[in-house]
Structure 1
Amino acid sequence: MLFCALLTQAQYNFPACSPAWDVSQVPYTQGQEVSVNGINYRCKYYTSDAPGAGSWQLIGPCGDGGLGPDYSGKQRIIGYLPTWVADYDIKNKFKPEVVTNLNISFLMFKQNNNDYNSTDFASISFDEFQARKVDSVLNDLGVLQKARAKGVKVAVALGGATDYAFIWLMDKYHNDDAKLEQVATLIANYVIQNNLDGIDLDMECWWADPAISGTSDQGGRVRGSKWGDSDQGPHPAGIGLTKLSKKLRAKLPNKLITAAVFGTSWYGNNYDDGIADYMDWIGLMSYDFTGSWDKSPEGPHSSLYKVEQGTYTGQTADNPIYSAQDALEYWMGFAPPAWNHSGGFKVPKSKLVFGLPVYGYDFSEKKPNGGNGAKFVPYKDIVKDFPNAATSYDAKDPKKLRGFIGENGKKIYYNTPKLAGEKIKYSKQYGHQGLILWELTQDTDYNESSSILKAVNVAAGNGTPINSTPVITWETPTNNQIIEMTTFANVALKAKATDSDGTVTSFVFKHNNTEIVATKNGDYYTANFLPNTFGQVIIIASATDNKNDTSEQLISFTIKEKGANTAPVITQVVPQGTIELPVLAPINIKATITDDVQVNSVEFIINNVSVTPTIVANTNVYTTDWLPQTFGTVTLNIVAKDNQGLVSEELISFTVVEKTGGGCEGIPQWDSTQTYSSATEVSYQGAVYRNKWWTQNETPGSSDVWQFVRDCNGGGNGSTCTAPLWSVSIAYNAGDKATYQNKIYSAKWWIKGETPDTSSAWGYLSDCTTSNSSVIISTVAKDQIELKIKASEPATMTVELYDFSGKKLQNLSLDRLIDSGVNTVNQDVSGLNKGIYIYKIIIDNKVHTKKIIKI
């Protein structure tokens, strides 16, 4: 009780240390007290063992607790900025000066397949697409330049909660010095070449992912215990991370090397606390202690101070609600001994920062789509729905810091601005470095009284107001509008620009970097634009305020010649690549066909035999089931004609191969003429399905009545498309697999109608096929981009173009076949504004990403 009282009164004040344990004085007898490295122990019975063994009782820290001196620098406010938040305007809205340190999240290692036990699950290289997204935030959106101008240190966070490749590399190569040297060289070169201030090592993924075979939960490792159990030592991946950090410190002596780790012992025991020797700081993810799993107690999310036992639903000694204080004590080494640790690690207090979540959990709702745990709610959404949220405190909190909303049947726990301010003050008072914030896009506007970041800065003595950039709202034209003209005529441009803390001092419209002078009328600005060609037009509205901050908003619209007709457009043709079947069975063939007037006829020519497909009601999808007569290559020519006689054709090929030793033996093939009662298993296109209710003539893989059970090969992680084709009309449960655009995906939770390549509810499993290909892109002229593609064999190629914000430009995407050897493809980009874009090129499921500059 004295120990607990001292902790709450002042900065880590501990009782005096007993005499130091001395090996020359052994044996010790019951009741004798000694100290080792700032920890007092009491002998439980006659022993010659050193303290830490089961014959000694840990009393607690003494003296300075072995914690070392306080951190003497300015308190750090370390913010994470993700690359994937589509509704947050980083280019115009993000202000780096709200933090002292910025981590762009996440750079990831390259994952090669979906079998964690394979020898080549991951490569010592970065995932190209994730690297492009990080580069876009750093450079295309101007974050690095703006941060440097404000004195903010910028690093990239490597890893995250889906980067299984990182933990695999650390596990596999933890005793392979040459491989760790390669990993360290890769990271160091990345930091230097991108002019970064450092790297944040965020190695997570200690849990099983049902979409990745061979993964399992790695929690609960024993690092000694209150009963004196032997220390299992760090997890091999934790050892690898420490060795990697040591190499990085040697290669980057003047750069920041940091880590984000789990705060408590379930996953925390996997790390090696020796990592602190090479770190500038260790960030304790002291959040998600409640809400993130299905057995979570209902209670405060990321409390600063310890949560009183027996106060909240589901809270027990075996299932506690942890706090930042608990996490700090564990990592410093004086947490109460537990079943899987004897008191924690031994990290100096000056090396620690801890967590401030800018989100909460609503225990009145489950995570959407069958997810595990309670509903995740960004802080700005809590404030939006409950304007009093910033000052609405949990009645069970005696300090009135923890946020709680109990209105309208809600049970939302979160961090308030007051709690945020207390956390940064606690960090200073107790000798730590500061806070990590996950994540920056979830806060309210900085200048609002409800802002979490504003509260932290004020409490840290950095309360200077931050200028808000102008807000631009387009009135006319609307985005993606089609404007028909017989002859070219003026298009009226109108936008609204306001500034919440100043005035708009200048405004201009821009087309292809040519300024169009605008007329001001109150907050509205108007101008006329005269097009000179038909096609896509991009106009940028640019406003500058009285503090010289500028924001931009662009729209895209199309000028179409009135009465002109274009040929039908054929997209999303399936199947492609290779299909494995244990026996010859019907294959579903479909394509999406659209036209600016009306599609009059569609013909599928399969191996020179014409088939008339049917159209799915209320869609543009044409489909047919086709029974191959032999295994081998299939040619499919799709011919579409509109009602004015214009014709389009799309020629592809796919291969049907015999699957040997499959898992469909004994499972009857689906028969369209047969009636099936519920819970009957059938095989179809290399997969097993089970019907949920009575059915007849409803095709598995295309009807919600059939539930996908498994691939016939039992895995779905090979290089063939054995999973059923994804259907917009089917509801998928967790673990269900589907093929989409030559890739196999697995549903993480219940999902319906969301395409696997864009929805977070789907997890990537594997490519269907592999190819040996390369891509070279060169800017040939200002209106043409030349793509040179080298392929070892005929292949299917999909080209997608993204703008600098990561938005896919649908009208500049294409699908086609390429031959073996070097192929040259020219694409018209005359409708694009000058700037930076990213090509994503998929050749038989191998993804190539290239950045281009439109000049």
Structure 2
Amino acid sequence: MRTTSALRRLAFGAVFLTTLAACSSASDAPAAFEDLTDTTEGRASATKVVGYFPTWQGDVNAIQYDKLTHINYAFVLPTAQGGLTGLSSGDTRLRSLVQTAHGRGVKVLIAVGGWMDGNDAPFEQMAANASTRTTFINNVVAFVDQAGLDGVDIDWEWPEPGTSAQNFGALMRELGTALHARGKLLTAAVVALNTDGIPSSAFSDVDYLNIMAYDWGYPHSTYDLAVQSLNYWIGRGLPKDKAVLGVPFYGRSQSGAYTYAQLVAMDAQAPYKDQVSDIYYNGIATIQAKTRLAVQQGGGIMIWEISQDTANTTSLLLAISQAIGGSGGNQAPSASLTSPTNGASFSAGSTITLTANASDTDGSIARVEFFAGTTKLGEDTSAPYSLAWSNVAAGTYALTVRATDNSGASTTSAAISISVTGSGGSCAGVPAWSSTQIYVNGDKATYNGKLWRAKWWTQNEIPGAAEWGPWELLGNC
């Protein structure tokens, strides 16, 4: 699930996308959100925010610790004889992670297992024998003690129904007893739904389950899947406060995987939609809708994995933190962009009036901010909320608004797309496009009687050949 070769390769090469397309699933999320209506147990103060952090990539010092409650360091691997391999308890990076996290009040667990190239035989063989289970438990407890950890996350992918499930139950029972006696946590990562490999007897042995509501079908992580996953596990008897909903910080196509940070680097509008070409992922609006669902219907939210995030205002972890701040005691405001409409077209140089609706059920709206992609255009602090966007250049824009209430909770609206066409400036002195020229962000060229500007590094890519491409049309010469 998590350590597939495709995901491991994300750290080692650039991803080149082929086309861009808008997706409406984020805007559909509020309707799906109403599928679960029991919100009486939503408590932001008890919400868990669990971030997996891999052994093979990511900067310990770049983690947004203030937005997490738990970090699962992934992975150490089990052996059939009950040993542990692949990572030592004295690993300097792990030590640094634990020290820094504990200084910020964040718990750190060691995640055991993972995808293991689809071979769960070490788990199967170890758990089937009482002696090797005991050896494994002793090694895990020693690892936790020596590294100063707060607990263990078992990521066995996957126990099968029958004997395998019984052995999983025995392992969790015995490991839970050993860890809880020392004041440590035991958690487990589980498939989204429809599995008999996890016995309900294990529910009392774990502190919570991390429900992997992703890598399931195509698109791989819809809002509906999140609803179905919580319904499934809670319906089986898992207490709500032990149901932690998993979300992806990556996208999947039918041929590969892409980090959220890579998608944002390739398409500045990626945070405001859920699809780039044939790659499906969760943008800000969907992540926030899932977070509110997780707070109100479960015990929190889990992320695979936090090194795939951005480090600015487009951060999905920031979006999660904002949504949690608006849950429980303080409800997040609502926000929608009412004008212009999706698909509207304007002439270059126009002044476009943006209008928005925003409301707050338990407070007041402090401000409404207007964005084109990641660029803030301005804000309004009183209703009716509007902004005059002057002298707009030619191009295609994803527009959103973000409403913030008087307690600091905020909500970002679904994006709408508009196009601005027409003259974008003089072509005088601008050289014609050349296939041998290297262009960087901001460079201009003329091609087929039109003026173009490069959005990023490019060579031998014809202006206008692909909608997603590196060239922005400024207008006719």
Specify the SS of the correspondent of 1:436. Answer: strand
CA deviation after TM superposition for structure 1 residue 169, in Å: 4.5
**In the alignment, does 2:261 pair up with 1:359?**
no
Question: Hey, what does 1:434 align to over in structure 2?
Answer: 300
**In the alignment, does 2:317 pair up with 1:453?**
yes
Larger helix share, 1 or 2: 2
**In the alignment, does 2:72 pair up with 1:103?**
yes
Q: CA, structure 1 residues 205+270, in 2 after alignment: closer, same or farther (shift >3 Å)?
A: closer
Specify the SS of the correspondent of 1:249. Answer: helix
- 1:374-418 per-residue CA deviation (whole Å, 9 max, x = no partner) reads 2211101111111011113xxxxxxxxxx123xxxx222110112
Q: What is the alpha-carbon distance in structure 2 between the residues aligned to residue 126 and residue 381 of structure 1? A: 33
Question: Hey, what does 2:271 align to over in structure 1?
Answer: 390
Q: CA, structure 1 residues 79+178, in 2 after alignment: closer, same or farther (shift >3 Å)?
A: same
Q: What is the alpha-carbon distance in structure 2 between the residues aligned to residue 84 and residue 150 of structure 1? A: 23
CA deviation after TM superposition for structure 1 residue 132, in Å: 3.7
State whether residues 427 and 435 of structure 1, in contact with CA within 8 Å, keep that contact through their aligned partners in structure 2. Answer: yes
- 1:565-594 per-residue CA deviation (whole Å, 9 max, x = no partner) reads xxxxxxxxxxxxxxxxxxxxxxxxxxxxxx
CA deviation after TM superposition for structure 1 residue 435, in Å: 0.9
State whether residues 417 and 452 of structure 1, in contact with CA within 8 Å, keep that contact through their aligned partners in structure 2. Answer: yes
Q: 2:222 aligns with which of 303, 311, 316?
A: 303
State whether residues 170 and 236 of structure 1, in contact with CA within 8 Å, keep that contact through their aligned partners in structure 2. Answer: no
State whether residues 153 and 189 of structure 2, in contact with CA within 8 Å, keep that contact through their aligned partners in structure 1. Answer: yes
Q: What is the alpha-carbon distance in structure 2 between the residues aligned to residue 93 and residue 81 of structure 1? A: 11
Q: 1:328 aligns with which of 230, 234, 237?
A: 230
Q: CA, structure 1 residues 261+358, in 2 after alignment: closer, same or farther (shift >3 Å)?
A: same
State whether residues 71 and 349 of structure 1, in contact with CA within 8 Å, keep that contact through their aligned partners in structure 2. Answer: no
TM-score where L is the length of structure 2:
0.57
Q: CA, structure 1 residues 205+456, in 2 after alignment: closer, same or farther (shift >3 Å)?
A: same
Q: What is the alpha-carbon distance in structure 1 between the residues aligned to residue 75 and residue 292 of structure 2? A: 29
CA deviation after TM superposition for structure 1 residue 238, in Å: 2.4
Q: What is the alpha-carbon distance in structure 2 between the residues aligned to residue 444 and residue 6 of structure 1? A: 26
Give the letter aligned to residue 383 of structure 1. Answer: V
Q: CA, structure 1 residues 178+415, in 2 after alignment: closer, same or farther (shift >3 Å)?
A: same
CA deviation after TM superposition for structure 1 residue 97, in Å: 2.7
Q: 1:262 aligns with which of 168, 178, 191?
A: 191
CA deviation after TM superposition for structure 1 residue 241, in Å: 2.1
CA RMSD of aligned residues (A): 2.8
Name structure 1 gaps, 5 residues minimum.
Answer: 14-68, 111-121, 207-217, 219-233, 291-296, 307-322, 334-344, 363-372, 393-402, 464-855
Question: Hey, what does 1:381 align to over in structure 2?
Answer: 262
- 1:72-97 per-residue CA deviation (whole Å, 9 max, x = no partner) reads 85211100000112xx4x14433433
Q: What is the alpha-carbon distance in structure 1 between the residues aligned to residue 208 and residue 268 of structure 2? A: 36
Give the letter aligned to residue 135 of structure 1. Answer: D
Question: Hey, what does 2:98 align to over in structure 1?
Answer: 144
State whether residues 187 and 208 of structure 2, in contact with CA within 8 Å, keep that contact through their aligned partners in structure 1. Answer: yes
- The higher relative CO (CA closer than 8 Å, separation ≥ 6) is in 2
Q: What is the alpha-carbon distance in structure 2 between the residues aligned to residue 149 and residue 156 of structure 1? A: 18
Name structure 2 gaps, 5 residues minimum.
Answer: 1-30, 328-477
- 1:728-772 per-residue CA deviation (whole Å, 9 max, x = no partner) reads xxxxxxxxxxxxxxxxxxxxxxxxxxxxxxxxxxxxxxxxxxxxx
**In the alignment, does 2:165 pair up with 1:238?**
yes
CA deviation after TM superposition for structure 1 residue 105, in Å: 0.4
Q: CA, structure 1 residues 182+329, in 2 after alignment: closer, same or farther (shift >3 Å)?
A: same
Q: How does 1:710-725 map to 2 (within 5 A)?
A: none
Q: How does 1:763-778 map to 2 (within 5 A)?
A: none
CA deviation after TM superposition for structure 1 residue 270, in Å: 1.6
Give the letter aligned to residue 379 of structure 1. Answer: Y
> Which structure has the larger Rg?
1
Question: Hey, what does 2:54 align to over in structure 1?
Answer: 82
Specify the SS of the correspondent of 1:10. Answer: coil
CA deviation after TM superposition for structure 1 residue 346, in Å: 2.5
Identity percentage over the alignment? Answer: 27
State whether residues 70 and 350 of structure 1, in contact with CA within 8 Å, keep that contact through their aligned partners in structure 2. Answer: no
CA deviation after TM superposition for structure 1 residue 153, in Å: 0.4
State whether residues 273 and 346 of structure 1, in contact with CA within 8 Å, keep that contact through their aligned partners in structure 2. Answer: yes
Specify the SS of the correspondent of 2:230. Answer: helix
Q: What is the alpha-carbon distance in structure 1 between the residues aligned to residue 75 and residue 90 of structure 2? A: 7
Question: Hey, what does 2:275 align to over in structure 1?
Answer: 404
CA deviation after TM superposition for structure 1 residue 134, in Å: 8.1
Q: 1:423 aligns with which of 254, 273, 290?
A: 290
- 1:752-798 per-residue CA deviation (whole Å, 9 max, x = no partner) reads xxxxxxxxxxxxxxxxxxxxxxxxxxxxxxxxxxxxxxxxxxxxxxx
CA deviation after TM superposition for structure 1 residue 164, in Å: 6.5
Specify the SS of the correspondent of 1:131. Answer: coil
Q: CA, structure 1 residues 246+173, in 2 after alignment: closer, same or farther (shift >3 Å)?
A: same
Question: Hey, what does 2:108 align to over in structure 1?
Answer: 154
CA deviation after TM superposition for structure 1 residue 259, in Å: 0.3
Q: How does 1:309-320 map to 2 (within 5 A)?
A: none
Q: What is the alpha-carbon distance in structure 1 between the residues aligned to residue 210 and residue 317 of structure 2? A: 18
Q: 1:124 aligns with which of 82, 99, 102?
A: 82
Question: Hey, what does 2:147 align to over in structure 1?
Answer: 194
CA deviation after TM superposition for structure 1 residue 9, in Å: 6.2
Q: What is the alpha-carbon distance in structure 2 between the residues aligned to residue 84 and residue 170 of structure 1? A: 22
TM-score where L is the length of structure 1:
0.33
Q: CA, structure 1 residues 241+135, in 2 after alignment: closer, same or farther (shift >3 Å)?
A: farther
Q: How does 1:729-740 map to 2 (within 5 A)?
A: none
Q: What is the alpha-carbon distance in structure 2 between the residues aligned to residue 389 and residue 415 of structure 1? A: 9
Question: Hey, what does 2:345 align to over in structure 1?
Answer: none
State whether residues 49 and 68 of structure 2, in contact with CA within 8 Å, keep that contact through their aligned partners in structure 1. Answer: yes
State whether residues 163 and 205 of structure 1, in contact with CA within 8 Å, keep that contact through their aligned partners in structure 2. Answer: no
